[in-house]
Amino acid sequence: MICSICKDKVATIRLKEIINNTVTEVHLCQACYEIHEQKGVFLTNELASPKEATDSEAGSGKQKSKSKAKPKKCLACGTTEEQFRAKGRLGCSDCYAVFASAMVPILSTIHGATEHRGKAPHHAVRTLDLKAELKKLQEDLQRAILSENYERAAKLRDKIRQFESM
């Protein structure tokens, strides 16, 4: 899990607060926890990034205010992101597309991955293996291009074409 504040380090501390049946959960790395522990502030709407916190402690003026974005809402059933986070349930099948960005960290926390890695029918295993190999080749191709290793990139491109023609 990634730190809710700096969004850089691995979160090692989880704080959960329940006020009026509203659950607020924050994941913090050790550095962010120590900064906010000194202030005694842990609610998500009161948290600042470590840079903002150190800037304000140094007396550099007011903290940067975050612009409030319009809350997401499913047009089909009317479920808001706040309701989804509070209940942990979606209202309809359209909610999966609307709240996809909010679900990824939750799925990563619960299942350890965002893709299914369980059992598959025996006849589908070969197809899944080929798709995984193709995906790996495409990732290797991107890395070869970024590192400007064009000879390797050409070989990988040819392998990808061979896989796609199967």
Instruction: Give tens-digit pLDDT for 38-61.
Output: 665 555 444 444 444 444 444 444
Tens of pLDDT along 112-146?
A: 777 777 777 777 777 777 888 899 999 999 999 99
How many Å apart are CA 13 and CA 32, to the nearest integer?
10
Number of residues in the chain: 166
pLDDT above 70 coverage of the chain, percent: 78
* pLDDT band (50, 70, 90) for residue 66: very low
Predicted local distance difference test score (pLDDT) of residue 142: 94
Q: Which of 91, 88, 89 is nearest to 77 (CA)?
A: 91
Residue 63 has pLDDT above 50, yes or no: no
Tens of pLDDT along 14-33?
A: 877 777 777 778 788 888 87
Predicted local distance difference test score (pLDDT) of residue 156: 94
Residue 87 has pLDDT above 90, yes or no: no
> Does the pTM exceed 0.75?
no
How many Å apart are CA 144 and CA 137, to the nearest integer?
10
How many Å apart are CA 134 and CA 152, to the nearest integer?
16
- How large is the average pLDDT for residues 145-154? 93
Predicted local distance difference test score (pLDDT) of residue 70: 67
How many Å apart are CA 90 and CA 86, to the nearest integer?
11
Q: What is the torsional sign of CA 82, 10, 52, 34?
A: positive
How many Cβ atoms from other residues are within 10 Å of residue 74's Cβ?
A: 21
How many Å apart are CA 26 and CA 165, to the nearest integer?
48
pLDDT, mean over the chain: 76
Predicted local distance difference test score (pLDDT) of residue 39: 62
How many Å apart are CA 114 and CA 100, to the nearest integer?
11
- Cα→Cα distances 4→34, 67, 69, Å: 14, 17, 17
